[in-house]
Structure 1
Amino acid sequence: MSVLDRSSLEDSPLADLHALASELGIDGYRRLRKADLIDAILARQGGENGAGTVEDAAADAEAAERPRRGRRGRRGGRARRDADEGEGEAEAEAEAEGPVAKVADTEPAERVAEGVVELLGNGSGFLRVSPPDPSDDDVYISAAQVRRCELVSGDRVGGPVRPPRRSERYPSLIRVDTINGKAADEVAEGIHFDDLPAAFPTQRFALNSDDPTLKAIEWLTPLGRGSRAVIAGGPRAGKSEALRRIAAALAAQDGVDVTVVLAGVRPEEIGDWKEHGPGEPAVALSFAASHDAQSQAVERAVETAKRIASRGGDAVLVLDTLDGLHPHAARKILAAARDIVDGGSLTIIATASKPVGGETTVIALDAALTSTGRFPALDLGASGTLRPELLVGEAGADAIAQARAQALGVS
């Protein structure tokens, strides 16, 4: 499937088409019907000077609108209406005839840029031509292009660039031609992430911590690449602190891309994460944000992590918390975690007041133990990992079963 072929454009929402038309410098695109707009985009993308076609379509749209405007504008009197229509005809003629020559005379030759993608929190990004430092030569990449080409931070991308317009500071990428040395349409033809085969995690994360709770988590509720884990417990059970320490331990490991997402937390916890966490959170929303705002922000972060995993990387997303999301949204986000067969992995470790279902690992914390300073504060009876023998071996799995039986008073 071509990155910008007709079928993909027809499947795109009108807002994305408007954004693309703006990047391409198509005038009058907001007055075009969707089919005409797609024709204009294809004409411009195909290397043709589509200005004449676009302007003609814009003039047609203007002419179609004019009778309706005339009927609504009776109060202004015949003279005003005639003057307005005369001006409208002159403008339509100027749009239909003038811009073709104007564009041909003034439009500069297409410049090609190549650099490294750096994504922003709103879904758009920049092409850093001298990474990692920003410069005035960097190129803006729209959110629509990021989604269409499934770009992630660190991708090396190339494509033609248009100069900045009057109100813009940076040039804009017209289209993505190459991604990491491959043709963009070739990269786009990959299997959809949700259709990639998944397996139970087999590579254990070594937390290497002296913290007693983290030691208990590492050996009694082990986490692996591709785990779908929830740290559960009531208020003041220590969920956020445990998650922060796990995130710090994972961020210190080579080859692991850790993303911190805060949604629905206390404002004070955002400050704690920024000061003591492993890095700046990609998303930081307090509980004052709406359910929809939280879900959309988290889903954007998950989409980025999916792209890393689908290209063979090991992504870890730590999320505090699932409690502010709709139950369906929480399950959908958690379901993205997987160990891809013969590929990368996406690990999601989230906090919640209780498990949401579908986890491969549940880490239940005991608020009573935490409040009295008795650590590890792990409720072993309510905790567990599916198929632990894949992570710690048969002997390790037997040791976990014995520890749980002892905690539950079962002989």
Structure 2
Amino acid sequence: MAKKKFRPRSGGGGGQGRSGYGGHYGGGGGGGGGGGGGGGGYYQGGGGGGGGGGGGNGRPRRRRRPGPPGMGGGGGGMRDGNGMQGDDRQPYYDRERAPEAPKLDENGQPIPVKEMVLEAGYGLLEMHPNGYGFLRSPDNNYSRERSDPFVPGTMIEKYSLRQGVMIRGQVQPGRGHQGPRLREVTDVEGMPPDDYIKVKAFDQLTPINPDRWFRLETGPQPLSTRVMDLLTPLGRGQRALIVAPPRSGKTILMQQISAGVAANYPDVKQFILLIDERPEEVTDMRRNVKGEVCASSLDNDIESHVRLSQLIIERCKRMAEMGQDVFLLLDSITRLARAFNKYVGDKGGTMSGGLNIKAMDIPKKLFATARAFEEGGSLTIVGTALIETNSRMDDAIFQEFKGTGNMELVLDRKLAERRVWPAIDVTQSGTRREELLLEPEALHAVTMLRRTLSSMHPVDAMEQLTKQLGRFKTNAEFIKLISSARMD
């Protein structure tokens, strides 16, 4: 026996009753006056009644809440297959956000809306993987704040903006649950946005060996920077590694290096990046250096360490693209690698000391960004690596970075214990291609000096060197003495 097809019942006219209910596959539109609106179907809303017609009942799947009496039109029930609700065919997710009707004055004319007020804003662009971004404030240590202006993806594509650029523009203040939004870009890295498109990317520039010397000497004291100028000269674009055991004077040496660069090269932009450091160390560094200190102390989470380190490196790259000389002190590479080791989790295999194989990929890439460019501009990175910490992971991290730099300065704990400062191991420290940095006379004198010091015990060598340097006000006078071979 053939199965009968179900036909929905049509709704009859009603009096001042309640609205009808939706049928299983579709409710019929009601007629008559005074009744409720037509019932909506389960899969598709039913047609509305007339001026107040009541809808009839189909076969209800489950009881729906009826509409108020006397309401005309409008299908009840669930939305149709197109995600619409009711007869106005408006997406259900936009109904609450529909613009309000303009307000009218006493004459029935719409009242003009006030013009949108924009404020001047600036910040560092941090991009999201989905293409949009936010402007992070240097005053807040580039942390994520609800007050950071939103940068739409279309604006990023229009001006070819890269992560780490400093942007100034007109910002629409936040309203309601929405935060501020960048509406207009006035300049990017100090130039019109249309001109920034022509700037070459970091990877398109030509890297060369450092050939411009950073002179750190500022006077008779401190002796640490004077010793570095002789034994480990630092050039613009250098990739330097300070290898330091605990309590060997690493922090003081970094402050003296920063002071030497600030005094002799005020046009060089300095960044001091502190990762997983003690909070009191961060405060001390901010009070004793003139560069911009960016810190994620040990009370921050791993994501903060990873995010800030990448963001600051990108900032340095953007400035180097513009032809500026940037100097970055990174303390420390060891703690940075530890953070990435936790960040990558269990991906990949494990090396000695529990170090993940993929944990070193990004830290080594960040350290390798230091370079000088033939077109102009440079990025110098001086990072610290911790040794003799009784940690196999720290030793493995140092071995991974060993040989990646073109200058190494090794501090000796025995010298530090005897209070010989700087506690530099002369035989283990040096700069590659130092002939590109030093004058021929100075290079000859340094060569003779190394021959003399290498034949001595490291402790005796540094004691003798500091004693001789203390007799002269400048390194130039000391070099003349060595050149004449009259060193006592």
Distance of aligned partners of 1:121 and 1:236 in 2 relative to their CA distance in 1, 3 Å threshold? farther
1:74-223 residue pairs with structure 2 within 5 A?
77-79=62-64, 83=77, 85=79, 89-90=85-86, 93=90, 95=94, 99=98, 117-119=122-124, 124-125=135-136, 141-142=149-150, 149-150=161-162, 157-158=168-169, 161-167=171-177, 171-176=180-185, 178-179=187-188, 183-209=192-218, 210-223=221-234
Task: Report the CA distance between 1:371 and its aligned residue.
Answer: 1.7
| 2:298 alignment counterpart | 286
- Which of 345-354 and 79-88 deviates more? 79-88
Give, in angstroms, the shift of residue 175 of structure 1.
Answer: 4.5
1:140, 1:173 within 8 Å by CA — same for their partners in 2?
no
In 2, Cα distance between the equivalents of 1:127 and 1:409? Answer: 50
Does structure 1 residue 358 correspond to structure 2 residue 390? no
Report the CA distance shift for 1:278/1:162 in structure 2 as closer, same or farther (over 3 A): closer
> Compared with structure 1, are the counterparts of its residues 388 and 328 closer, same or farther at alpha carbon in structure 2 (3 Å cutoff)?
same
Q: Superposed, which structure 2 residues align to 1:56-71 within 5 Å?
A: none
Number of residue pairs aligned between Structure 1 and Structure 2: 322
Q: Which moved more, 1:254-263 or 1:372-381?
A: 372-381
**Equivalent residue, structure 1, for 2:325:** 314
Shift of 1:249: 2.1
1:347 Cα deviation from its structure 2 partner: 0.9
Q: Match of 2:334, SS?
A: coil
Letter in 2 for 1:386: R
- Partners in 2 of 1:294 and 1:401 — Cα distance? 41
Helix, strand or coil at the partner of 1:374: coil
Aligned 8 A contact 1:114 1:127 in 2: no
Give unpaired runs (5+ residues) of structure 1: 1-65, 68-75, 129-138
Match of 2:427 among 367, 381, 384: 381
CA distance in 1 between counterparts of 2:151 and 2:85 reads: 37
Q: Which amino acid aligns with 2:262?
A: A
- Give CA deviations for 1:334-361 in whole Å, capped at 9, x if unaligned: 1111111121111111111245432121
How far is the alpha carbon of 1:83 from its aligned partner?
4.6
- 384-393 vs 83-92, greater mean Cα deviation: 83-92
Structure 1 residue aligned with 2:267, among 246, 252, 255? 255
Change (3 A) 1:143 1:302: farther
Q: Is the 8 A contact 1:316 1:346 kept in 2?
A: yes
- Which of the residues 265, 271, 275 maps onto 2:283? 271
Greater shift after overlay, 316-325 or 88-97?
Answer: 88-97
Q: Which has the higher helix share?
A: 1
8 Å contact kept, 1:158–1:178: yes
What is the one-letter code of the residue matched to 1:309?
A
- Contact conserved, 1:233 with 1:365, CA < 8 A, in 2? yes
Q: What SS does structure 1 have at the residue aligned with 2:296? A: strand
Shift of 1:286: 2.1
Whether 1:344 and 2:344 are equivalent positions in the alignment is no
Aligned 8 A contact 2:333 2:384 in 1: yes
**Deviation at 1:96?**
7.8
Moved more, 382-391 or 394-403: 394-403
Contact 2:119/2:172 (<8 A) preserved: no
Q: Which has the larger radius of gyration?
A: 2
Aligned residues of 1:118 and 1:152 also touching (Cα < 8 A)? no
Query: Is 1:244–1:277's contact at 8 Å kept on the other side of the alignment?
Result: yes
1:236 aligns with 2:282: no
Alpha-carbon distance in 2 for matches of 1:127, 1:402: 47
Q: State how far apart, in whole Å, the 1-side matches of 2:90 and 2:124 are.
A: 42
Residue 391 of structure 1 corresponds to 437
Contact 2:285–2:293 (8 Å) recurs in 1: yes
Separation of aligned partners in 1, 2:195 and 2:366: 28
- CA gap 1:100/1:328 in 2 versus in 1, 3 angstroms: same
What amino acid does structure 1 have at the position aligned with 2:215?
A: A
Q: Do 1:313 and 1:344's aligned partners in 2 also have CA atoms closer than 8 Å?
A: yes
The structural deviation recorded for 1:265 is 2.3
Say whether the 8 Å CA contact 1:126–1:141 is kept in structure 2.
no
CA 1:250/1:77 → structure 2, altered by over 3 Å: closer, same or farther? farther
Inter-partner Cα distance in structure 2 for 1:278 and 1:179: 25
Distance 2:172 2:89 in 1: 26
Contact 2:125–2:164 at 8 Å: present in 1 too?
Answer: no
TM-score by length of 1: 0.66
Counterpart residue identity of residue 363, structure 1: L
Cα separation, 2, equivalents of 1:140 and 1:286: 25
